[in-house]
Every structure is written in structure tokens, then in C-alpha cells.
Chain A
Amino acid sequence: MFDFLEDYDLLGAFWTTVQLAVLSAVGSLIWGTLLAAMRVGPVPLMRGFGTAYVNIVRNIPLTVIILFTSLGLNQSLGITLGASDFETINFRLAVLGLILYTSAFVCEALRSGINTVPVGQAEAARAIGLSFGQVLSLVVLPQAFRSSVVPLANVLIALIKNTTVAAAIGVAEAALLMKEMIENEAQLLLISAVIAFGFVVLTLPTGLILGWVGKKVAVKR
């Protein structure tokens, strides 16, 4: 029944999915943290930029953003992100698009975490002479991260599934392989089930493990 799978590199496709997800997760965690820092910071210009970025980017469909990286950045502006072959360029563009999009959600998950940190924590940190950056990086963000593990897990799960949009610009990940199999094979239900199962294998443990981590690192007050 599963014989037809032998003609396809299923593991290879899911490996690309994992690579897309991991690189985008790291990138959007960094960019999302910077955005959150801007949104809670004292500089009005940065606060404005952070707010505008989040509100614009999270309201654009991911497909549009991914297509924009390919059609806009690559084909119109000639940006190649340091790669020369078509496959690598598209992979990197997809990662960039996923980072730009997901960081808006990371920012908001973190900001909700920052809101759980009592004002007194930051006041006490300022009172011993820490600078704004130190207050944020040594006292507020470590506590905010701990209470945003679960919302961040939700963002990560969404990101893993969102990597399928990279198929729109030809990145050879799981969804593109599914499209190829559907065109060539007759077992349509089975194909969907196999791909769905592959994603559940990636996302279910992510949710469970991070849920456990979230409880483990929660700040006791």
C-alpha cells in the first residue's frame, strides 16, 4: 500500500521543512525580541516603528510576504542573499519571509510576557543603578521569557506549519512534495494522511515539551 512512497524522498523533504522551521525560529526569536524591546522602550521613534511593524506585518497573508520576497526582492531588486543557485536563493528568501512574518507574533507573545512582570521588578532594577538595557536584559526579559514559553510554543507550532507556504516559491519541502505526489499518484487520501502525520510528528512533541518546560521555568512569586 505504501510502495509508491519509495519513489519519493519523503525524509529529505521533511528535513527541508525542519531546516526552514529551525532557522526561521531562531531568526524570528532574535528579531521579535528586538521588536518587543523597541515597543516597551523609552524612545518614541522606536516605539512607533515597533508598533507599526507588528500591526502591518501580522495583517498581511504569509503567502503574499513569501511571494514578495521572491518577486519583489529577488526578481525586481536582484537580491540573492549571498547565494548563486536558484534553490538556495529561494530557500533563503523563504526563511527571510518566515522571519519577517513570525517575528511580529514573537514580539506580541513576548510583550504579553513582559506584562506579567510586576512594575516593581523594573523599579528595583533601576534603583540599584542598572541602565535601561540592563534592566531589560538582566531582569525583565529573563522573567518575560519564562512566562512566554507557552505562547511562544504556539507561535513555533504555527511557524512549523507555515513553512508549507514556502512551496509557493518552489522550496522543496514537504508540501511541495505532496503536490508532486498528488499529481503522479492515485492514493490521494493516503498522501494527505502521510504528510499530515509527518507534521504532527514535528509539532506534537514541540507543544508537549515546551508546555513542560514552561511549567518548569515559571517564576514563582
Chain B
Amino acid sequence: MTEVSVAKEDVAATGELVVLKSVNKHFGALHVLQDIDLTIARGEVVVVIGPSGSGKSTLCRTINRLETIDSGTIAIDGRPLPEEGKELARLRADVGMVFQSFNLFAHKTVLENVTLGQIKVRKVEKKKAEEKARSLLDRVGVGAQADKYPAQLSGGQQQRVAIARALAMDPKVMLFDEPTSALDPEMINEVLEVMQQLARDGMTMIVVTHEMGFARSAANRVVFMADGRIVEQAAPDQFFSNPRSDRAKDFLSKILHH
């Protein structure tokens, strides 16, 4: 993917792609995000882990403003997140998002799912959009399913189409909100492999996941969240072998030793 390698070269110029500063959010009385400060560099792969209800998904969703925040600032590529409207739509086009429940457009074919954004948002010609869609679908290994509807595909295939749909917009950063949590165990790897390839190609990625294997092998940094706060962040080797906080030790002891 040429776009990504170009993006990688600008790292020296402006290193910071996503910057969150003292972000706070409440759901009613629940303080889901508490003074979150997080900076993600261009080309970096950050994995966010933590117990359920710790605010990981909410954090991920605030970055393209699917969730609004109560205070603090979020900037992408140096520009603060706009309010609702045309500006926000433009920004969202640059931020790819992959959901836990795939959310492929149910009334459109796989191919149409991947061309819709290109045609309607990027104003790409239909023919060119289809060419690009087919090559992306081939890349994630579902090229043969292009003319089917999402309901005819397995979960793993649907999620790979969803990744292709996001990539079709040439995003600067990709958000993954528990991309494998709704999948049958035997389909998890096919999705993780696509994500690993993407990480190797230099895509900036923020991944909320419970897949510790992926965190170890693909992440540059692990961010551990609990109770709405970032408790600890470190390189994966260091985090998994030698966590500093008690909260992280406790969490890891529960998930790693079975």
C-alpha cells in the first residue's frame, strides 16, 4: 500500500497523529473517561486493554466523535475535532473504524459496501472505486465474495470486508473496537492476520482488544485502562512480563494463567 508508506515517511515531520488531552466523559453518574491523556504517533500501533467497563471502547469511539466528550480536547493530525456537520464528516472519512459487530450495510453487496464511501464522500468515479474495492477485497482474502450480501458471509469474512471498507477511504488512522469479540474462535485468526499485515505495512492503529497474542506480536505500545483511567502504558514485552501497577498485575493474572 503506497499511501501508507508515504505517510510513514512524514513521521519525522509531525510525529503526533492523535492527541487526547485531559479528556473527560460521563454516562449519567458514571465517570467513564477520567482525565485521559494519550498521544499516538504516526505509524504506531497502540493496543488498549483492560477489564470490561473500563472505558476502552468509549475511548476508541470518542476519537471519531461517535461519542462526544464533556471536557478536554482531541486533535487528529494537528486539527481539533470539529463539531457536528460537514467538517466532522470530512474528518471521519480520514479515520477508519472497525466495529465489534461489523456493521456492514445489510442492503448492499460486499462490493457496494466498499465503494459507497469512495463514491459518495471521496467523489471517486464508480469504475475506479470498484477497481480499488476489488483489490482491497483480494488483499483481505474475500475477493470471491464481492457480489454477495453481508448476511451470506461468515463473521470472519464480514469483519475482513469491514476492514476493506475502512481502508478504501485511505484513512490516516484506523480504530478497531474489539474487532474479534463477536467472532467464533476459529475465525479470529483470519481477522488478526489481516490486522497484523496492516500493522507491518505501517498503518497507524488503535486497537481495543482482548487478544493478548495480537498485543504481544503487533503492538508498539500497550495501554492498560481500568475504571476510566489509563493506569499503565508500556511496550508489550515489558507490560506482559513485568507490569508495574497492581491493577495490571491482577488483570493479567486472571487472563494469562489458565
Interface residues of A (CB under 8 A from B): 42, 118, 120-121, 123-131, 134, 138-139, 142-143, 146, 219-221
Contacts and interface: CB of A to CB of B under 8 A. Distances in A.
B161 to A, nearest CB: 11
16 contacts: A120-B103, A121-B105, A121-B106, A123-B99, A124-B97, A124-B99, A124-B165, A127-B92, A127-B97, A127-B166, A129-B92, A138-B120, A142-B107, A143-B106, A220-B149, A220-B151
A130 to B, nearest CB: 6
B101 A128 contact: no
A139 B113 CA distance: 10
Contact of B86 (A127, A131, A139): A131
Contacts, number: 74
Interface residues of B, number: 32
Contact of A127 (B95, B101, B102, B120): B95
Contact of B169 (A124, A128, A220, A221): A128
Per DSSP, are chain A's interface residues mostly helix, strand or loop, or mixed? helix
Contacts of A128: 92-93, 116-117, 121, 165-166, 169
B103 A124 contact: yes
A221 to B, nearest CB: 5
A124 B166 CA distance: 9
Residue with the highest number of chain B CB atoms closer than 10 Å, among A138, A142, A143: A138
A144 B226 CA distance: 39
Nearest to B117: A128
Nearest to A117: B106
A220 B97 CA distance: 23
B169 A129 contact: yes
